[in-house]
Amino acid sequence: MSDESHLCLLGLIVLSSLLTGTSEEKVTYVFISSGEDARLSCNNALHDCNSTMWLYNRFRHSATVELIGLGIKNNNTERHERLSLGPDCSLNIKNISTEDYGYYSCRQYVNGEQQGPDAHVYLHVLRVSSSSSSSSQTEISAGRSVTLFCQLYSFAGGSCVDWIGSERIQLFWVNQAGVKLMRSDSRYQILSSSHHCIITLNTTLLNEDHNREWRCNVTQRDKVKSSVTYTVKSSGEKTSSSISTSEEKVTYVFISSGEDARL
């Protein structure tokens, strides 16, 4: 056989192995905001869930935790109360927190033998906080500086540079109209770190910022996957609005002791 034939055959073998590996692995990316409920699909489920196992890893080389074993929830896990198995064998997680991000695997066992490859789900959690509060709303005086932190907790762990590049992940801030905030805008100081999947927004609040919203978006391949809205309530504006009582209707009733009254 000629050298060209050997090279051609080798190329076909490599191509075949690559295609086979790609077709067998089922991977789903899920992006969700902290505090929401998540549903992780089991794309390799059989006719019932008695053969279904859900496994979890926080990092690539961390210990594997069994969440669901042959359709039965493991009550020994810290978050078992927030977990449930759907009728389609999906894994439901209530009130997602930053502790839930990571790598989930749905596996099928029949008669002690694994059936086919795992179905993998990468769960990424988006969270926004501020320098003055850990919630998504703050009351703060005009003229005061505030820094908002938007972080994507991902399976990539301490560094997500390569993952961001391969999946075209982007984090950015937008205003109430959905317009992207730019670094060139003198009002905002925006800093990002792809190494830690975090972007910060710093600004000085104005009187007209009462009830203003800023939203952090995460996109994958130019499609918005999740977002978190941060609302600012100026303490001065809140006080003045609460004083306004022009809508109140007051009636004065005068009556003698011992009489019947009707209000």
The per-residue pLDDT for range 63-93, each reduced to its tens digit, is 999 999 999 999 988 889 999 999 999 999 9
Q: What is the CA radius of gyration of the chain?
A: 27
- Is residue 170 within 8 A of residue 162, CB to CB? The reply is no
Query: Is residue 120 in a domain?
Result: yes
Residue pLDDT, tens place only, 134-163: 555 556 677 888 899 999 998 765 456 656
Q: Which of 151, 127, 148 is nearest to 204 (CA)?
A: 148
Query: Is residue 11 in a domain?
Result: no
Query: Is residue 3 in a domain?
Result: no
Residues 106 and 161 in one domain: no
Tally of structural domains, the chain: 2
Residues 58 and 85 in one domain: yes
Residue owning tokens 């938007």: 150
Domain region containing 213: 131-242
Which helix (H) or strand (E) covers residue 196, if one does? Answer: none
- Is residue 234 within 8 A of residue 209, CB to CB? The reply is yes
Q: Residue 33 is part of a domain; what is its CATH number?
A: 2.60.40.10
Residues 64 and 92 in one domain: yes
- pTM for this structure? 0.74
